[in-house]
């Protein structure tokens, strides 16, 4: 298993050291530390963090300020408020939306409970701000098979999205894959998007659909009405068809967006499905090509190794 990195934030040197020690009892955990909201923010900007454990009181703010920073940088990362501050003393004003776990330090065996909680929150992806597909782990494993160097560089997707944008007369057409925490755009005509966090991405919802997802007006849909990021990107209408692998895993979507509300006719949706099928076929061909290449390389390597051991060195 990959090592988890936990950021432990506490202004009290002894407490911080003790928490760090307990977290390190799990061999799969690495710990970085910070002693203030500001240094925690620096740590978050630096390396990837899988979980944040923070005290409440800091000279320059509170543990909820740390959580706010997490939601701004890597929103999926779970945060645990590990504190002796009682709920009554915790001021949530301005921080009503961050949502954290809370573990009081006077819990019996609090630090052992903390270690378990870190593992559970990371494994179960408990603090993500979007619905999770039922078999998310299988879905991510399937994506890995398609996700190879060069996938983004494929001209075929650029051509497809350029054709789609002209055909439908929309602002933007794109092909995106949804990984564990982000949507990555393999091709995007009409905008220069590269990635979008999953909680802001409409495709995160599309991959739950069997057929497709249409949102004629984002402001009229409870899932997106308060998503400011969509307004920043001028997304007001959306149509997306899931990209489903031959084995039934949904790894991304072929999508159209427009800067004002609009509807899509049945003929348009039928065409959009064709574009999605074409994109999925491209991805599948590339996967098979990669597989063949891997096999050929493996065979060659074996042959070379065979020569080496069998040769007499002359």
Partner 1 sequence: MSVQEPTYTFDGLPLAGVEPGTNILVTGPALGGIRELTMRMLLRRHSREGTLFIAADVDGRETLSDYEALGGDLDFARVGVVDCTENGTDDDGHNVHAVGSPADLTGAGIEFSSLYERIHQNGAGQVRTGVYTLSPFVVYAPAKSVFRFVHTLTGRIRTADGLGVCAIDPAAVDDQTLSSIAQAFDGKVELREVDGQRAVRVRGLSDQPDDWQPIDFDTA
Q: What six digits make up the tokens of 135?
A: 């078999």
Q: Which of 92, 194, 181 is nearest to 128 (CA)?
A: 181
Integer Cα distance of 189 and 211 in angstroms = 23
Total interface residues for partner 1 by CB under 8 A = 44
* Radius of gyration in angstroms for the set of CA atoms belonging to the chain, rounded to a whole number: 24
Site string for partner 1, 55-94 (x = CB under 8 A): ---------x--x-------x-----x----xxx-x-x--
Strands 237-244 and 250-258: antiparallel
Sole window of 131-139, 186-194, 265-273, 301-309 interacting with partner 1 (rule: CB under 8 A): 131-139
Q: What six digits make up the tokens of 265?
A: 């006719």
Query: Binding partner 1 by CB under 8 A: which of 129, 156, 163, 284?
Result: 129
Pick between residue 126 and residue 145 the one whose CB is nearest to partner 1.
Answer: 126
Residue 174 beta carbon to partner 1: minimum distance, rounded to whole angstroms: 21
Interaction residues for partner 1, span 201-240 (CB under 8 A): 205, 208, 221-227
Q: What six digits make up the tokens of 71?
A: 């939601």
149 makes contact with partner 1 (CB under 8 A): no
Query: Binding partner 1 by CB under 8 A: which of 33, 62, 127, 250?
Result: 127
Pick between residue 106 and residue 307 the one whose CB is nearest to partner 1.
Answer: 106
302 makes contact with partner 1 (CB under 8 A): no
Interaction residues for partner 1, span 246-285 (CB under 8 A): none
Query: Binding partner 1 by CB under 8 A: which of 4, 100, 143, 255?
Result: 100
Integer Cα distance of 239 and 256 in angstroms = 5
* Whether 162 contacts 189, CB under 8 Å: yes
Query: Binding partner 1 by CB under 8 A: which of 28, 96, 260, 267?
Result: 96
Binding residues for partner 1 (CB under 8 A): 64, 67, 75, 81, 86-88, 90, 92, 95-104, 107-108, 120-121, 124-134, 199, 205, 208, 221-227
């Amino acid at each position: 298993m990959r090592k988890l990195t936990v950021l432990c934030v506490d202004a009290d040197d002894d407490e911080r050291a003790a928490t760090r020690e307990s977290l390190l009892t799990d061999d799969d955990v690495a710990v970085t530390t910070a002693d203030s909201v500001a240094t925690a923010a620096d740590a978050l900007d630096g390396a990837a963090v899988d979980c944040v454990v923070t005290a409440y009181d800091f000279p320059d703010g509170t543990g909820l300020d740390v959580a706010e920073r997490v939601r701004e940088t890597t929103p999926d990362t779970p945060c645990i408020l590990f504190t002796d501050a009682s709920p009554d003393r915790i001021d949530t004003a301005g921080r009503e939306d961050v949502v954290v776990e809370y573990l009081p330090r006077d819990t019996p065996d609090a630090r052992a409970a903390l270690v378990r909680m870190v593992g559970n929150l990371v494994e179960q992806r408990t603090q993500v701000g979007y619905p999770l597909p039922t078999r998310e782990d299988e879905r991510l494993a399937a994506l890995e098979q398609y996700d190879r160097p060069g996938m983004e560089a494929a001209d075929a997707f650029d051509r497809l999205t350029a054709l789609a944008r002209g055909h439908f007369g929309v602002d933007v057409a794109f092909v995106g894959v949804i990984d564990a925490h982000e949507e990555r755009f393999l091709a995007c005509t009409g905008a220069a998007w590269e990635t979008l966090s999953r909680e802001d991405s409409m495709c995160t919802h599309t991959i739950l659909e069997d057929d497709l997802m249409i949102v004629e007006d984002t402001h009229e849909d409870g899932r997106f009405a308060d998503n400011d990021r969509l307004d920043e990107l001028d997304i007001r209408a959306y149509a997306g068809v899931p990209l489903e692998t031959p084995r039934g895993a949904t790894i991304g979507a072929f999508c159209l967006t427009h800067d004002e509300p609009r509807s899509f006719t049945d003929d348009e949706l039928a065409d959009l499905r064709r574009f999605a099928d074409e994109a999925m076929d491209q991805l599948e061909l590339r996967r098979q090509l990669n597989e063949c290449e891997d096999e050929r390389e493996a065979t060659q390597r074996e042959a070379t190794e065979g020569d080496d051991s069998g040769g007499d060195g002359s």
